[in-house]
Amino acid sequence: MRNAEIRNTVAELQDLYAAQDVLKAQITEREQAIKDELDAREIETLDLGNIIIRFTNILSNRFDTTAFKKLHKDLYNEFIKQVASRRFSIA
């Protein structure tokens, strides 16, 4: 791929990123409207026939690495694993 082709591809990609941001905002707005309606109706599940919408509370247990690191720094350091990755960015 030549530089001009890369430049064109990057321009297309930037347009797609912008469109993606708009779509994400629209999705979030519509999801929030539905969540607000479920809250207003004080229901967690809405059966619309061919669609079932659920907005439920879920409890989960998460490991608090920050607190563990403060209390057991040496033990925490024994289990740290370095991971390599590659980052792609356009500036």
- The position carrying tokens 């469109």 is 19
Q: How high is the pLDDT of residue 83?
A: 97
Q: How many distinct helices (H) and strands (E) make up the chain?
A: 3, 2
Domain boundaries, the chain: 3-61
User: pTM (2 decimals)?
Assistant: 0.74
pLDDT in tens, 2-56: 999 999 999 999 999 999 999 999 999 999 999 999 999 999 999 999 999 999 9
Q: How high is the pLDDT of residue 60?
A: 97
Tokens of 19: 């469109």
